Amino acid sequence: MESFEINVGPTPATTSGPLHLRVQTDGHRVVQAKIEAGYLHRGMEKVAERMTWLSCQPYMGRIDYVSAIHCEHAYALAVEKLCGFEIPERSKAIRVVVSELSRIASHLLSIAWLARTTNASTAVMFALRDREKICDLFEILCGARLTYNYVRIGGVSNDFTEGFVDKTIEFIDYIVPKLQEYHQLLTNNVFFIGRLAGVGVVSASQAIAAGLSGPNLRASGVKLDKRKQEDYEIYRKIDFSTPLGATSADSFRGAVQGDAFNRYFVRIQEIEQSAVIIRQVLANVPEGKYALTLPRVFKVPAGEIYVSVESPRGTQGIFIRSTGEKYPDRLRLRTPSFPVLNILPAVLESSTLEDMGPLVASFDYLPSEVDR
């Protein structure tokens, strides 16, 4: 059969953002895949060079808008380290709680997108229903549902508001048993497993060579979690585990480490671990101030620094170069979806047309992170 060129996108189809795939197919097998990014390139890094250090903060939430806390967090940590600030213990605990809530929200949305591409529409509605509850929690806390601008340089923008802690614990008590619904609908569903098991396998060495991180890397069996490696906030004092990809010996027939099913499975287990972390932290939040007081226009001493946090998609890193002025000289966003571009063509080229959508969604590929 002759090969046929198909355009997928740039109008968003399988991702929440524009992505252009040009695939050559032979029948229904994909022979060659070319990815074109840049349809959402807003020039964030150049914008940051115009803004003062404090004015950059709202832009950070718009890069990875599905879990807006993590990029803000990385930026705040980088500037604080360069200035030599030591933030109060209470604000560290608050930051951990909101980070983990944001992680649960992001994983729910990634499950929704994966379910949407595999036509498991009930799971889409359920995931959005549960994500709404987290949006409510954030609304009680900081007034915004999606892009919070909550984690600031020096701490957070305000303390826990009235009712937030009780409602969060209520939500945690609700979501952990509710995950059984997702297991029933998706994880133990023979059609879902059949669709994703053994598809898009990325071995551990391929994943490291391509620069993957986060759940994508852990699904391939590499145990790397920034929360355990880098010493930031109070993660070293919390007891939690990092789930790795399961093999077919664990009752998921046909699933191998590094396939699309395991990338989903790692995420749903991480929701449980985030719940464990939130419960531990909320059990004893230290008293004290929630932020340092900063001057209104403040200058960061000259220097360069790289800081990374564990975002739901992987390693969210920020590199800052300061020349002592009140504007950053260079702000670089190392986003976790960027290295996925290195491996996505190879993965797509060994798959079929109907697997393209679920494969892209299984990497939790966010075009706005790639294009910035």
Partner 1 sequence: MAFVFSRLDDLATWAQTHSLSFLFLDLSCCGIEMMHTTGGRYDLERFGAVQVASPKQADLMIVAGSISYKYAETLKKNYEQMCDPKWVMAIGSCAGSGGMFEGEFSYSTVSGVDKILPVDVYVPGCPPRPEAIMHGLLTLQKGIVKCRAQNSWKDSKTSSPEL
Partner 2 sequence: MSSTEFLEGLKNEFPGAITKIDIGYGQKFAEFSSNAAASIFNVCSTNERGRFDLLEDLLAYDSGDDIVLVYNLYSTLLNHRVILKTSLHRKEPSILTATTVWLAALSYEKEIAELFGVRFKNHTTEIPFLLPKDWQGFPMRKDYVYPGGYSGIAHGSGVERRKR
Residues engaged in binding partner 2 (CB under 8 A): 34, 36-38, 41, 43, 45-46, 50, 81-82, 208-211, 213, 222, 224, 229, 303-306, 308, 315, 317, 319, 321, 327, 329-330, 332, 334, 338-339, 341-343, 371
Q: Give the residue with the Cβ less far from partner 1, 13 or 305.
A: 13
Output the six-digit token pair for 12. 């968003």
Query: Residue 99's closest CA among 124, 70, 60?
Result: 70
Decide if residue 38 touches partner 1 (CB under 8 A): yes
CA dihedral 274, 280, 282, 287 (to 10 degrees): -130
Q: Which of 62, 81, 299, 330 binds partner 1 (CB under 8 A)?
A: 62
166 — phi, psi (to 5°)? Answer: -65, -40
Q: How far is the CB of 113 from partner 1 (least distance, A)?
A: 9
Task: Answer whether 197's CB lies under 8 Å from 255's CB.
Answer: yes
Decide if residue 13 touches partner 1 (CB under 8 A): yes
Q: Which of 24, 32, 47, 330 binds partner 1 (CB under 8 A)?
A: 47
Q: How far is the CB of 88 from partner 1 (least distance, A)?
A: 30
Decide if residue 253 touches partner 1 (CB under 8 A): no
Q: Which does 308 bind (CB under 5 to 8 A by kind): partner 2, partner 1, none?
A: partner 2
The rounded distance, in Å, linking the Cα atoms of 354 and 271 is 28
Q: Which does 47 bind (CB under 5 to 8 A by kind): partner 1, partner 2, none?
A: partner 1
Enumerate the H helices of the chain as residue ranges: 44-50, 57-61, 68-83, 89-117, 121-142, 164-182, 190-196, 204-210, 215-218, 226-229, 260-283, 340-349, 356-362, 367-371
The packing angle between helices 89-117 and 260-283, to 10°, is 150
Q: Which does 31 bind (CB under 5 to 8 A by kind): partner 2, partner 1, none?
A: none
N-term to C-term CA, the chain? 40
Q: Give the residue with the Cβ less far from partner 1, 40 or 208.
A: 40
Q: ω into residue 10 within 30 of 0, thus cis?
A: yes
Q: Give the residue with the Cβ less far from partner 2, 179 or 341.
A: 341
The packing angle between helices 121-142 and 164-182, to 10°, is 170
Q: Which stretch binds partner 1 (CB under 8 A): 16-24, 87-95, 211-219, 271-279?
A: 16-24
Residues 92-121 that bind partner 1 (CB under 8 A): 109, 112
Q: How far is the CB of 108 from partner 2 (least distance, A)?
A: 27
Q: How far is the CB of 351 from partner 2 (least distance, A)?
A: 19
Strand ranges across the sheet with 314-322: 303-311, 314-322, 330-334
Q: Which stretch binds partner 1 (CB under 8 A): 42-50, 193-201, 248-256, 357-365?
A: 42-50
Q: How far is the CB of 361 from partner 2 (least distance, A)?
A: 20
Q: Give the residue with the Cβ less far from partner 1, 34 or 41.
A: 41
Identity of residue 157:
S
Burial letters 325-363, b for 16+ CB under 10 A, else e:
eebbeebebbbbbbbbeebbeebbeebebebbbbbbbbb
Q: Which does 188 bind (CB under 5 to 8 A by kind): partner 1, partner 2, none?
A: none
The rounded distance, in Å, linking the Cα atoms of 205 and 194 is 25
Query: Residue 336's closest CA among 310, 306, 305, 304?
Result: 310
Q: Which of 5, 26, 132, 166 binds partner 1 (CB under 8 A)?
A: 132
Q: Which does 368 bind (CB under 5 to 8 A by kind): partner 2, partner 1, none?
A: partner 1
Q: Which of 5, 28, 31, 43 binds partner 1 (CB under 8 A)?
A: 43
Output the six-digit token pair for 99. 């980070």
Decide if residue 128 touches partner 1 (CB under 8 A): yes
Decide if residue 11 touches partner 1 (CB under 8 A): yes
Beta bridge partners of 346: none
Q: Which residues bind partner 1 (CB under 8 A)?
A: 10-13, 16-18, 38-44, 46-47, 50, 58-59, 62, 65-66, 109, 112, 125, 128-129, 131-132, 135, 145-147, 368, 371
